[in-house]
Structure 1
Amino acid sequence: MSAFDDLLAFQRQTEALSSVAERLGWDQETVMPRGATEQRAEEMAAMEEVLHERRTDPRLGEWLAAAEPQTEVEARIVELIARDFTRTSRVPARLASELAKTTSLAQGIWAEARAKEAPEEFLPVLDQVLMLKREQAAALADGGDLYDALLEDYEPDTTAAEIGALFDTMRPRLVALREDILGAEDQPQALTGHFPQETQIRLARACATVFGYDWSRGRIDLAVHPFSSGRWQDSRITTRVVEPEPFNCLYSTIHEVGHSSYEQGIDDDYALTPLGRGVSMGVHESQSRIYENQIGRGRAFTGWLFHRMSDAFDGLNIADPEAFYATVNRVTPGYIRTESDEVQYNLHIMLRFDLERDLVAGRLGADDLVEAWNARFLKDFGVTVDRPANGALQDVHWSVGLFGYFPTYALGNVYAGCLNAAMRDAVPDLDEALARGDAAPGVEWLRENLQRHGGLMPPRRLIEDATGATVSPAPLLDYLEEKFAGIYGL
């Protein structure tokens, strides 16, 4: 066997073990007994020790030095393994294990604190997570910026300065659009009524099927915070149900289907290699956001959904498909990021981006987070946070150490804007299909032009190859202004 063959065989086992560790995380957030938290933390730490040892195995360095890739695919595999080997080797095994154990415990503590509206029970363990993440960032940064070192795990070759500049470009148009909308004379009617959990889940499954979700390789479960997990032949989704608010369940499901379908759509030849997963979280979010918003909240699909919901719930308080389209896209100053309208969503991300940069840099401590969050939310949204679960406790990310993840949601929106413009040009009859409850033409375009490539290309090159245009926030902002001007008569 060649050095490349040895490298690939070793990596396949590492990828398989990584999938097992991911399944432990899925289990913890869905069906694990509440009393098993400490045991699961030990299990996660043990798995991380095994994975860290494999990812820093000296033989990797030897194989990488001797490997002679013959194709673009082989060269990219070597590049990604080398990057992971270099980064992981900078982090002590003790730290990797401690992070896995602490974040596993913190996740359970966060869920309990959120349910009890008790931030004081979560903040001490968040402080522990922060100390470990700062230590990890210092090891990875090698003298560079701590936040950039963490961001690299989620969006390679992107810096906080670049993201900050992007947000500075986007914010004025988003804020101006929001002000025009909230000041409009006619406001869409809210959806009201009782929407039983069982019926919501049945409709959520129907929506997932419309978007091409492969149930033979996936499943849906309930979680406190919706997420997707897994890859290739086992890619799962979760949702949550609030009985008075069915859009929460339905659009969380469509969002997670976007993530999961990306994993299901990657070329089978890349399975159990570094190419066999999404290339970055920004690209991943582009899939979840375009499924949820440009497709799922468009006039054509909401027309189909209106009739399905009317049948399922024996009528709605909304008169017709056009009014329902406006209701689905209603802009209100709500607290929750995952339930936010398209106009304000990125403003939620900007808040988190600034706060977590301060947390990582040590300019903000865990004990001051709730106060800082509430003050910033009032400044940005003009609303006083009423309770911790609607404020600093609403997201799971910081409890599990995902510092640097949040800005990828906004990058995903920007990428989705670029993809949507190209998709609409390439599939001019997409809305006709969506009106029949058929998302296949759009899904197939995304699968062919983006999803199947997995990690083959760097993120921006992947988007630019798919769209034939340079990545820019302009398509997203133009789309939002045109869409909401129509809804609100601006």
Structure 2
Amino acid sequence: MSAFNDLLAFQRQTEALSSVAERLGWDQETVMPRGATEQRAEEIGAMEEVLHERRTDPRIGEWLSVAEPENEVEARILQLIDRDYTRTNRIPARLAAELARVTSRAQGIWAEARANDAPQDFLPTLDQVLMLKREEAAALADGGDLYDALLEDYEPDTTAAEIARVFDAMRPRLVALRDDIMGADRQPQPLTGHFPQETQLRLARACAGAFGYDWSRGRMDIAVHPFSSGRWQDSRITTRVVETDPFNCIYSTIHEVGHSSYELGIDPDYAFTPLGRGVSMGVHESQSRIYENQMGRGRAFTGWLFNRMSDAFDGLNIANADDFYATVNRVTPGFIRTEADEVQYNLHIMLRFDLERDLISGRLDTDDLVEAWNSRFQKDFGVAVDRPAHGVLQDVHWSVGLFGYFPTYALGNVYAGCLNAAMRKNVPDLAQALAEGDAAPGVEWLRENVQRHGGLLPPRDLIEQATGAAISPDPLLDYLEEKFGAIYGL
């Protein structure tokens, strides 16, 4: 066998073990008994030690030094393996295992603290996580910026300075649009009532089906924080239910279907290789956001959803499909990022981006985090945080060490804006299909132009190839101003 084939066979086993480790995380968040937290932490830590040993195996370096790619696919596989091998070798095995153990325990501690509105029960553990992430960042940065080193895991070849410039360009138009909306005479009516869990879940399954979710390779469960997990032939989604707010369940489901469909849509020839996963979290988020927002919250699909919900709940307090569309897209100064409207969502991300950069750099200590969060939220949204579960405790990300992840949500919105503009030009019958509860034309365009490529192309190259244009926040901002200007009569 050639060096490339030897390397690929070794990588195949590593990818399979990584998938098993991911399944342990899914189990922990969905069906694992609450009393098994300590055992699961040991199991995940042990698996991480095995994976770290494989990822730093000296034979990988030997294979990489002599492997000769025969085409662009093989060249990209070698590039990605080399990148991961270099990064992983900078992290001591002890640190990798300790991070896995501590973040596994931290996840359960965070969930309990969130349920009890008790940040004091979580912050000491968060401090442990933060110390370990700083150590990891220092090992990866090799003298460079600590936050950039962590960001590389989620959005390769992007820096915090570049993201900050994008955010600075977006903020004035977003704030101006929000202020105009809040001052508008026309204000959509909220949806009110009681919406039983089982009925919500049936509707959520129907919506997942409308967006082409492959139930033969997936399943849906309930979790505290919705997420998707898995790839290749097994990619699962979770949702959550609030019986006074069915939109929470429905749009969390559509969002996670976007993530899961990306993984299921990758060329099957890439399975068990570095190409067999989404190329970045920004691109991943572009899929979930375009499913949820540009298609799922558009006038065409909400018209179909209005009829389905009216039947399922024996009527709604909203009179017609046009009013329902406005209600779905209602802009309110809420606390929760995952429930935020399209206009304000990116402002939630900017807050987290700035705070976590300060945490990693040491400019902000965990003891001061609650006050820093509350002060920034008051400044950005004009509302005082009423309880920790609506503030610093609302997101799972920091408990599991995902520092550098948050900005990819806003990048995903930017990418989705670019993709939506191109998709609407290339799929002229999309609105008609969505009005019939069928997102297939849009899903197929995204699968062909984005999803099937997996990790073959770098993130920027992928989006620019799909859209035929340079990446810019302008398509997203133009879309938001047009959509919400019409809804609010601006």
Using structure 2 for the length normalisation, give the TM-score.
1.00
Matched with 1:269 is: 269
In the alignment, structure 1 residue 216 sits paired with structure 2 residue 216 = yes
In the alignment, structure 1 residue 338 sits paired with structure 2 residue 342 = no
Shift in Å, 1:366: 1.0
Matched with 2:152 is: 152
Return the letter of the residue paired with 1:404.
G
Matches within 5 A, 1:303-382: 303-382=303-382
What is the total number of aligned residue pairs between the two structures? Answer: 490
Matched with 2:419 is: 419
Matched with 2:227 is: 227
Matched with 1:16 is: 16
Query: Cα deviations across residues 290-345 of structure 1 (Å, max 9, x unaligned)?
Result: 00000000000000000000000000000000000000000000000000000000
Matched with 2:51 is: 51
Return the letter of the residue paired with 1:358.
D
How far, CA to CA, are the matches of 2:19 and 2:246 in structure 1?
32
DSSP 3-state at the match of 2:372: helix
Shift in Å, 1:210: 0.4
Matched with 2:243 is: 243
Shift in Å, 1:90: 0.2
Shift in Å, 1:99: 0.1
Return the letter of the residue paired with 1:233.
Q
Query: Cα deviations across residues 57-90 of structure 1 (Å, max 9, x unaligned)?
Result: 0000000001000010000000000000000000
Query: Cα deviations across residues 106-162 of structure 1 (Å, max 9, x unaligned)?
Result: 000000000011110000000000000000000000000000000000000000000
In the alignment, structure 1 residue 400 sits paired with structure 2 residue 395 = no
Shift in Å, 1:429: 1.2
How far, CA to CA, are the matches of 1:198 and 1:360 in structure 2?
42
The runs of 5 or more residues in structure 1 that have no matched partner are: none
How far, CA to CA, are the matches of 2:386 and 2:125 in structure 1?
23
Matched with 1:62 is: 62
How far, CA to CA, are the matches of 1:3 and 1:473 in structure 2?
43
Shift in Å, 1:186: 1.2
Identity of aligned residues (%): 85
Return the letter of the residue paired with 1:489.
G
How far, CA to CA, are the matches of 2:7 and 2:207 in structure 1?
41
Matched with 2:79 is: 79
Matches within 5 A, 1:261-300: 261-300=261-300
How far, CA to CA, are the matches of 2:11 and 2:66 in structure 1?
16
DSSP 3-state at the match of 1:229: strand
Using structure 1 for the length normalisation, give the TM-score.
1.00
How far, CA to CA, are the matches of 1:48 and 1:429 in structure 2?
47
Shift in Å, 1:475: 0.2
Matched with 2:469 is: 469
Note the aligned Cα RMSD (angstroms).
0.3
Runs of 4+ in structure 1 deviating by more than 3 angstroms, as ranges, are none
DSSP 3-state at the match of 2:122: helix
Matched with 2:164 is: 164
How far, CA to CA, are the matches of 2:367 and 2:294 in structure 1?
39
Return the letter of the residue paired with 1:116.
N
Matches within 5 A, 1:54-203: 54-203=54-203
DSSP 3-state at the match of 2:287: helix
Shift in Å, 1:169: 0.1
How far, CA to CA, are the matches of 1:371 and 1:229 in structure 2?
33
Matched with 1:437 is: 437
Return the letter of the residue paired with 1:124.
P
DSSP 3-state at the match of 1:237: strand
Query: Cα deviations across residues 211-260 of structure 1 (Å, max 9, x unaligned)?
Result: 00000000000000000000010000000000000000000000000000
How far, CA to CA, are the matches of 1:205 and 1:238 in structure 2?
11
How far, CA to CA, are the matches of 2:31 and 2:384 in structure 1?
35
DSSP 3-state at the match of 2:85: helix
How far, CA to CA, are the matches of 2:254 and 2:4 in structure 1?
39
How far, CA to CA, are the matches of 1:251 and 1:105 in structure 2?
29
DSSP 3-state at the match of 2:393: coil
Shift in Å, 1:390: 0.2
